[in-house]
Amino acid sequence: MKSSRSTINLIVRPSFILLLLLSLIAGCSFAQVPSPNANGAKPTAAEAEKFIREAEKRVSDLSIHASRADWVNSNFITDDTEALSAQANQELIAAVTQLAKSARKFEGVKLSASAERKFKLLRLALTLPAPGNPAEREELTKIAVSMKSDYGKGKYCPEGEKGKCLSLNDMERILATSRNPEELKQIWLGWHKVSPPYRPRYVRYVDLANKGAREMGFKDVGAMWRSNYDMTPEAFAIEMERLWQQVKPLYDSLYNYTRQKLVKQYGTQLVPPHGPIPAHLLGNMWSQTWGNIYSILKPANGDPGYSLTETLKQRKTDARQMVRYGEGFFTSLGFPALPDTFWERSLFTKPMDREVVCHASAWDIDNQKDVRLKMCIEINDEDFATVHHELGHNYYQMAYAPQPPLFQSGAHDGFHEAIGDAVALSVTPEYLKQIGLIGQVPDASADIGLLLQLALDKVAFLPFGYLVDQWRWKVFSGEIGAVDYNKGWWDLRLKYQGIAPPSPRTEQDFDAGAKYHVADNTPYARYFLATILQFQFHRALCREAGYSGPLNRCSIYGNKKAGAKLIQMMEMGQSRPWPEALKALTGEDRMDASAILDYFAPLKKWLDEQNRAMEQ
């Protein structure tokens, strides 16, 4: 459901479609679905096919009600809408859990490949499995909804400033622009006060969700999440580590350069030359993207000669026009225009009269054409790219809408995140000139600056994208116990990102919970995978478009041939294992980080040269 990144970080959400699909079984009475083995006889293939077919129909019939309840809760946060959303989720989890358990009676029945895949996806559809006990199931769903709502309502009210409270958007703007380390520290600490109140609920949530996962035949919730990639949980963990090791040298070069520049900016008392970078100095609340400190890091000759943010503001671009730019990119590739209902029902700006969850997300209300964007759009270059990212979700949702309900999702959840970002990689100076936002394309001398800006969002994100679920997998498995949540979180952040908190943290804190996806129960490995895949997609689409120059200069805007290749893959949804979908677009059946290494190769060489020079 959620997807996105508020700061071009990757980002949102449980696979909206599958969650939503099955939110639909919400309230389903299982007397309406054929009961296998009702007469004690061995179930037949025909009975199995009928079971999954009627379950899907029921799912489709109920989806509109359940998804609208969640939409209303996210856009009108009140006690009442929270209760309605919790009830819908409780019904969803109960129904899907019962369906998945009933479906296990068909194990061993020889089925068509399509039906067999549907049964597998049904079992894996929920990201929040619940116990069969009704009271525990109700408790779990209330906890899940309350954590998300508390996050959405979170504010920081500085002491001594009566009546002045800052929203997360307000705080992110300060982190992005201030260079006062004490102010940055207070803002960082202020937001991280939001999550400790729901730490005890999170402990209980882990216990209840693990119980539900075990009842469904999984070791724990983490193992269940890792089973959703057409491979074993163990194989998936190995695959994630393989991809991380491919990109780690690129991250290390960027990290070492950034640390040395921050030492010059803030001094060795604040930034240890050979120690971790303080988390509040990287321009982002979670240190997951570093583009906001580009002004500190930029090369001497890195000015591209334009500022997209300034251009958008000078032209008095509003939020709706930002979305029109994104739509125009997709229609140039051969996609249809967004439906009228998209423009009538989406949320583009933060309302002044109520609380909403501002985290950018793309929605599919009816699993057909009622797609929506929910985003508190800021007029800047980051949100310009984020709009493209979110519309990638919406166009993916519309592309696979003709598929049966259980196939209405990305090939795997990383695909859903990667589509929009692959398109956003075509937001190059060449593209901006084509649509009239700049008058002249900078020459190749500006490429290092442009590559560095992008790397501060994409490459800097990689370890964070990897560690969020590393932490949760360890929490779900018990390797990180409830008494060590914060220690485990910062151990991983130090190991993978090389960062440390701005002041000592204790187990009274709950810093993992200050990240939306933890509060919202959204698996996060998809964002790491999407960062890898988007470059693999981009390289393949540029090749399809007949482009042969540097990857960072390629834009597929207006290329119908590349668009047709993309549409072909998107229409497959989750009907086939993801390696087949990947091969349909790229000709490759294995995720491969060599494309991101190719894209940033000129920058890697430059960073290593700068690091050697600064160390001398």
396 HSE (CA, 13 A, CB side): 34
- Whether the per-residue pLDDT at 8 is higher than 90: the answer is no
Which one of 202, 251, 524, 527 is the catalytic residue?
A: 527
Residue 280 a catalytic site member: no
pTM of the prediction? 0.86
Out of 5-14, 83-92, 180-189, the most confident range is 180-189
pLDDT in tens, 313-364: 999 999 999 999 999 999 999 999 999 999 999 999 988 888 787 878 899 9
Which one of 192, 280, 388, 393 is the catalytic residue?
A: 393
Which region among 41-45, 91-95, 229-233, 380-384 has the lowest average model confidence (pLDDT)?
91-95
Helix H or strand E encompassing 517: helix 516-519
609 HSE (CA, 13 A, CB side): 8
Residue 393 a catalytic site member: yes
**At 54, is the pLDDT very low, low, confident or very high (cuts 50, 70, 90)?**
confident
- Confidence at residue 86, expressed as pLDDT on a 0 to 100 scale: 75
Residue 517 a catalytic site member: yes
The per-residue pLDDT of the chain, averaged, comes to 88
- Confidence at residue 59, expressed as pLDDT on a 0 to 100 scale: 66
Q: Tell me which DSSP letter residue 495 carries.
A: I
Structural domain boundaries in the chain: 16-151+199-217, 308-450+550-590
- Whether the per-residue pLDDT at 25 is higher than 70: the answer is no
The predicted model gives 502-530 an average pLDDT of 95
The predicted model gives 26-51 an average pLDDT of 62
Strand extents, DSSP E, 12-113: none
The predicted model gives 292-306 an average pLDDT of 89
Single out the residue of 453, 412, 451 nearest to residue 569, CA to CA: 412
d(CA 504, CA 224): 34
- Whether the per-residue pLDDT at 372 is higher than 90: the answer is yes
d(CA 67, CA 49): 26
Residue 527 a catalytic site member: yes
Which one of 280, 359, 416, 538 is the catalytic residue?
A: 359
- Confidence at residue 92, expressed as pLDDT on a 0 to 100 scale: 67
- Whether the per-residue pLDDT at 148 is higher than 80: the answer is yes
Which one of 192, 280, 388, 389 is the catalytic residue?
A: 389
Number of other residues whose CB lies within 10 A of the CB of residue 108: 9
The predicted model gives 399-409 an average pLDDT of 92
- Confidence at residue 37, expressed as pLDDT on a 0 to 100 scale: 54
The residue ranking higher by pLDDT, 142 or 97, is 142
- Whether the per-residue pLDDT at 561 is higher than 60: the answer is yes
The predicted model gives 361-378 an average pLDDT of 90
pLDDT in tens, 121-145: 877 877 888 898 999 989 998 999 8
**At 303, is the pLDDT very low, low, confident or very high (cuts 50, 70, 90)?**
confident
- Whether the per-residue pLDDT at 96 is higher than 80: the answer is no
Residue 512 a catalytic site member: no
d(CA 247, CA 291): 19
Residue 416 a catalytic site member: no
Residue 390 a catalytic site member: yes
pLDDT in tens, 468-501: 999 999 999 999 999 999 999 999 999 999 999 9
Which one of 139, 172, 390, 544 is the catalytic residue?
A: 390
Question: Using alpha carbons only, what angle is made at residue 559 by residues 556 and 560, rounded to the nearest 5 degrees?
Answer: 135
**At 444, is the pLDDT very low, low, confident or very high (cuts 50, 70, 90)?**
confident
SS3 category, 319:
helix
Contact 57, 49 (CB under 8 A): no
Tell me how long the chain is: 616
Which one of 103, 417, 424, 557 is the catalytic residue?
A: 417
Which one of 360, 362, 514, 581 is the catalytic residue?
A: 360
The predicted model gives 162-168 an average pLDDT of 86
- Whether the per-residue pLDDT at 293 is higher than 90: the answer is yes
- Whether the per-residue pLDDT at 415 is higher than 90: the answer is yes
Ramachandran quadrant class, 559 (left: phi over 0; alpha: psi -120 to 50; beta: rest): beta
- Confidence at residue 104, expressed as pLDDT on a 0 to 100 scale: 76
The predicted model gives 265-289 an average pLDDT of 97
Strand extents, DSSP E, 478-527: 499-500
- Confidence at residue 7, expressed as pLDDT on a 0 to 100 scale: 29
- Whether the per-residue pLDDT at 29 is higher than 90: the answer is no
The C-alpha torsion from 7 through 12 and 17 to 20, rounded to 10°, is -130
- Whether the per-residue pLDDT at 14 is higher than 70: the answer is no
Residue pointed to by tokens 């409270």: 165
pLDDT in tens, 214-230: 988 899 999 999 999 99
- Whether the per-residue pLDDT at 452 is higher than 80: the answer is yes
Cα separations (Å) of 568 from 53, 561, 581, 584?
25, 11, 9, 8
SS3 category, 281:
helix
Which one of 192, 416, 517, 538 is the catalytic residue?
A: 517
